[in-house]
Amino acid sequence: MRSSLLFLLLALSACQRNESPPPAKAPAAAAPAPSTPKAPPAAVAVDTAKLERGRYLVENVLACGSCHTPRDWSRYGGPVSGPALSGACWEDASWELPGRVCAPNITPDPEHGIGRWTDAELLRALRDGTGRDGKTLFPLMPFLLYRELSDADAHAVIAWLRQAPASPRDGGRSAIPDEVYAQYKDLAAPVKAVVPEPAADDVSRGRYLATVAQCAACHAGMDEAGTPFAGGRPLPTPHGPEVVANLTPHARGLGALDEAAFVARFTAFKDLTPAPAKAGQVNKLTMPWVFFAGLAEADLRALYRYLRTVPAMAPPAPSASGK
């Protein structure tokens, strides 16, 4: 099972938080005096900053499209090949997933998407790990990490999803064996406390980004504890495994890579023309470069500065193509 051990380990260390209280109701507006003509209803204010933050989180930081959007795995980098956020399934055994795993349509379509979901249901799925049917989501959905997502960011994500282009596409349904579901069904848990914004300094913001963007999880070490950022794990793809990089300051990790070069690795994917993927070469399929290429330079610099503070860990000896 591709991520079961990793996410079970994360469950032991994930912070248990409480949901924020519902917002207070606004006081009712006073009725106009009888002699005053009725004014036309005021237009509903659109919080453009909140929507932009939600778009940035969905498209880049959380890289929701890396799973929820159809992608062409026969091409370098796995470019998008269908409507954004309209759902995608993994059935190819080469991904080493148990059965059929689908990331559903999360566009506002009422039939196949989230159009009939309430905000509370979306929050439960996003951070608690509980689907609308009450079942625990397959932990390829990183809800254990999204428990660190601040209340403001979680609500911004939902606000953006509500107005994203709707797609009537049926994204498919997962078919997970009962014995596999039994291994992760207890991972879902309610978030019960307010989740604040990270501190404004670069290192704190970088730590936050490294968590919600799943860097620590995907780049875990080969040891039993899955040491964050140590790297070395071979992740399966249809064209062979790709080994995740060491992101610690070790000489065989970030080493002498300076901040500008770190930023450039991401931004290089903005104008990439994907070539055909081939067995035996690094096809860049496990790291969602096509989505992370849109990360703001300030966030990439904060991420780099945080990674420079983690303990240096020696990666295992190279054995396959790197990430």
Q: Mean pLDDT across the stretch 284-301?
A: 96
Q: Rounded to the nearest 10 degrees, what angle do helices 151-163 and 48-56 cross at?
A: 90
pLDDT at 127: 98
Local structure of 167: helix, strand or coil: coil
Is residue 302 predicted with pLDDT exceeding 90? Answer: yes
Q: What is the pLDDT of residue 46?
A: 62
Q: For the chain, what percentages of helix, strand and coil (3-state, to nearest 5) are there?
A: 35, 5, 60
> What region, left, alpha or beta, does residue 109 occupy, with left being phi > 0 and alpha being psi -120 to 50 degrees?
beta
CATH architecture of 198-314: Orthogonal Bundle (1.10)
Average pLDDT, the chain: 86
pTM of the model: 0.85
- For the ranges 45-59, 119-133, 258-272, the one whose mean pLDDT is highest: 119-133
Residue 7 has pLDDT above 80, yes or no: no
Question: Which range is least confidently modeled, 17-26, 150-159, 168-177, 188-197?
Answer: 17-26
The answer, yes or no, to whether residue 216 has pLDDT greater than 50, is yes
Check residue 6 and give its pLDDT: 37
Least confident of 28-32, 108-112, 131-135, 217-221: 28-32
Q: Where in the chain is the domain with CATH 1.10.760?
A: 198-314
Task: Give the model's confidence band at 224: pLDDT under 50 very low, under 70 low, under 90 confident, else very high.
Answer: confident
In order of 12, 107, 126, 136, 322, the CA distances from 130 in angstroms are 18, 18, 8, 5, 34
Residue-by-residue DSSP string for 194-222? --PPPPSSHHHHHHHHHHHTTHHHHT-BS
34 pLDDT more than 50: no
Share of the chain above pLDDT 90, in %: 75
HSE-CB of 21 using CA atoms within 13 angstroms: 3
Confidence bin at 92 (pLDDT 50/70/90)? confident
**Predicted confidence band at 321 (pLDDT cuts at 50, 70, 90)?**
very low
In the chain, beta strands by DSSP E: 88-90, 101-103, 234-235, 242-243
Cα distance between residue 110 and residue 196, in whole Å: 32
